[in-house]
């Protein structure tokens, strides 16, 4: 395709989608459609430059949309990030993948990663066709699950140069290092408004979400934000230790993690941090150094201080400390009359899958958007209508209800395959130091994603965590094929 023809086709495609958005705006008059239109216009302007579109998706997903949601209450801003991510699919049509030197052997684990992704996508498509209910439900469901897979594709398949991939990853680390600024702003601005409204649900710490977003009255991605700061801290420490980043990065990451965890009540960090350390030091290249032993000791002290602060600030009643760490595993725990706890929801799916649920739905689910509690485009999803509210409390439940056992197993297999591939790269002698230590840290990131599945919905439902998840999986696949992480020349539009 010629350069001019490529630009013309990109322009025509953008005009087509913009016309759809304008039609929806006229029909519904909703500011949701206005956000969609803005995203489409921005995406249309960047379709011919996949590098800058990728940067825009990163900023929208990890900073802009979550901030609009928590500070201004614009929850529909998440649609903008999804539409920008979806624009990457269109941009891929006009961009030639970069030619990367293959420096590693064909890995069976990377093959398993791609195979698992293929099965997951085929289950999504087949379940959507079999369970088709309405165009609105399909649109809502696909918006939730499909767009950020484009992030994986552009990274893993080489549509971005190695230098651009590295810059994107450093931008992610930088965003993690400034989360404390958002947390302080939320403590000073959002918390007082929340308390003054007298209509809020939960404690004041529920809105300390950094740039990850959430409902100012209901709560948001507190645990995910805190885990993100710890993920960044672990990664930055490893890279600073190997002199791949300056020490200033470590101080910034440390301050961000301490402030974020101190302001937000997030128990999962206390549980995950020791496990992350174990995963990092497990067969670490060169063995455990003295400085790493010191770091482990300091983290142990920090955890003790965090537990003490939480005990004084949040866990003041008798038995509250034990309850804080055990209620998630109680299948009988209920948030209210209509919403079960985490284990209760998993148990409920199991009971229905082997009792009243059709066998086909047990294996492929009820289709994307099945557990949406409400939507102005489609109303409640079919699984909600039949089985009640609260089915979307965790990612594992969302996967089970939407894509059944097959889609859920494929999704988990993808994480496991990526973990093993990251471990293989961390032990490889053919990769660059940057890639080797990046993969050491990436093992702990994948542990967090896996642990989040039965804990929170964000890995498959939250914009920020979805971006981090698919970028991380794509990064591992990319460096598995291009282990040296060499800089390659930008190609741009196909000539």
Quick: pLDDT tens for 416-451. 999 999 999 998 888 899 999 999 999 999 999 999
**Per-residue confidence band for 207, with pLDDT thresholds at 50, 70 and 90:** confident
The more confident residue out of 44 and 391 is 391
Q: Is 327 exposed, middle or buried (0-12, 13-18, 19+ CB in 10 A)?
A: middle
Sign of torsion over alpha carbons 82, 165, 109, 438: negative
Cα 280 → chain centroid: 21
Provide the pLDDT for residue 40.
61
Number of Cβ within 10 Å of residue 198's Cβ equals 7
Residue 64 in any domain: the answer is yes
Provide the pLDDT for residue 494.
34
**Per-residue confidence band for 183, with pLDDT thresholds at 50, 70 and 90:** very high
Residue 446 in any domain: the answer is no
pLDDT over 80 at 293, yes or no: yes
Sign of torsion over alpha carbons 393, 269, 156, 98: positive
Question: What DSSP state is assigned to residue 96?
Answer: P
**Per-residue confidence band for 254, with pLDDT thresholds at 50, 70 and 90:** very high
Residue 39 in any domain: the answer is yes
Provide the pLDDT for residue 399.
96
On average, the pLDDT of the chain sits at 83
Least confident of 70-79, 324-333, 348-357, 420-429: 324-333
Query: What is the count of structural domains for the chain?
Result: 1
How many percent of the chain have pLDDT more than 90? 44
Helix residue ranges per DSSP H, 314-428: 320-326, 342-353, 359-364, 382-387, 395-427
- Determine the Cα–Cα distance for residues 77 and 374; give it in Å rounded to an integer: 17
Instruction: Return the top range by mean pLDDT from 47-61, 315-329, 401-415.
Output: 401-415
- Determine the Cα–Cα distance for residues 196 and 335; give it in Å rounded to an integer: 23
Sign of torsion over alpha carbons 382, 459, 75, 122: negative
Residue 379 in any domain: the answer is no
Residue 84 in any domain: the answer is yes
* Average pLDDT of span 266-273: 84
Cβ atoms of residues 44 and 388 within 8 Å: no
**Per-residue confidence band for 101, with pLDDT thresholds at 50, 70 and 90:** very low
Least confident of 180-194, 318-332, 391-405: 318-332
Residue 464 in any domain: the answer is no
pLDDT (tens digit, 9 = 90+) per residue, 13-56?
Answer: 555 555 555 554 544 445 555 566 666 666 666 787 899 999 99
- Determine the Cα–Cα distance for residues 159 and 3; give it in Å rounded to an integer: 17
Using DSSP's 3-state secondary structure scheme, residue 437 falls into helix
* Average pLDDT of span 181-199: 85
pTM for this model (two decimals): 0.88
Residue 435 in any domain: the answer is no
pLDDT over 70 at 211, yes or no: yes
Least confident of 2-11, 77-86, 168-177: 2-11
pLDDT over 90 at 147, yes or no: yes
Residue 310 in any domain: the answer is no
Provide the pLDDT for residue 490.
36
Can you give the residue range of the structural domain that contains 71? 1-94
Number of Cβ within 10 Å of residue 338's Cβ equals 9
């Amino acid at each position: 395709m010629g350069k001019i023809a490529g630009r013309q086709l990109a322009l025509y495609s953008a005009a087509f989608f913009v016309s759809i958005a304008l039609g929806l705006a006229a029909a519904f008059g909703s500011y949701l459609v206005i956000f969609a239109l803005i995203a489409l216009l921005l995406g249309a302007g960047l379709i011919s430059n996949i590098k800058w579109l990728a940067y825009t998706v990163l900023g929208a997903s990890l900073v802009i949309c979550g901030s609009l949601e928590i500070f201004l209450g614009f929850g529909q801003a998440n649609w903008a990030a999804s539409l920008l991510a979806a624009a990457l699919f269109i941009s891929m049509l006009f961009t030639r993948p970069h030619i990367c030197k293959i420096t590693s052997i064909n890995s069976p684990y990377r093959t398993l990663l791609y195979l698992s992704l293929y099965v997951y996508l085929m289950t999504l498509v087949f379940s959507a066709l079999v369970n088709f209910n309405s165009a609105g439900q399909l649109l809502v469901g696909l918006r939730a699950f499909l767009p950020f897979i484009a992030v994986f594709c552009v990274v893993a398949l080489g549509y971005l140069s190695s230098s651009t991939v590295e810059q994107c990853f450093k931008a992610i680390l930088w965003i993690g290092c400034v989360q404390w600024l958002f947390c302080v702003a939320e403590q000073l601005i959002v918390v007082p408004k929340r308390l003054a409204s007298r209509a809020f649900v939960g404690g004041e710490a529920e809105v300390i979400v950094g740039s990850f977003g959430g409902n100012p009255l209901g709560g948001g991605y507190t645990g995910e934000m805190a885990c993100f700061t710890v993920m960044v801290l672990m990664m930055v420490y490893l890279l600073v230790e190997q002199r791949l980043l300056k020490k200033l990065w470590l101080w910034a990451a440390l301050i961000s993690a301490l402030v974020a965890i101190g302001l937000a009540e997030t128990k999962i960090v206390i549980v995950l941090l020791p496990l992350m350390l174990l995963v990092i030091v497990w067969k670490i290249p060169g063995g455990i150094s003295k400085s790493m032993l010191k770091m482990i000791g300091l983290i142990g002290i920090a955890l003790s201080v965090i537990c003490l602060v939480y005990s004084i600030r949040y866990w003041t009643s008798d038995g509250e400390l034990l309850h804080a760490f055990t209620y998630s595993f109680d299948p009988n725990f209920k948030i209210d009359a209509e919403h079960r706890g985490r284990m209760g929801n998993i148990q409920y799916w199991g009971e229905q899958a082997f009792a009243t649920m059709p066998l086909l739905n047990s294996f492929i689910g009820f289709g994307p958007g099945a557990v949406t509690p409400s939507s102005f485009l489609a109303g409640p999803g079919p699984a909600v209508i039949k089985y009640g509210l609260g089915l979307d409390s965790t990612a594992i439940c969302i996967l089970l209800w939407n894509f059944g056992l097959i889609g859920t197993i494929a999704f988990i297999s993808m994480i496991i395959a990526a973990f093993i591939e990251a471990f293989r790269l961390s032990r490889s002698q053919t990769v660059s130091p940057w890639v080797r230590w990046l993969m050491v840290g990436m093992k702990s990131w994948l542990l967090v994603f896996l642990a989040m599945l039965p804990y929170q919905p964000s890995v498959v439902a939250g914009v920020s965590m979805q971006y981090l998840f698919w970028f991380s999986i794509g990064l591992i696949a990319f460096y598995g094929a291009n282990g040296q992480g060499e800089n390659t020349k930008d190609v741009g539009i196909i000539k």
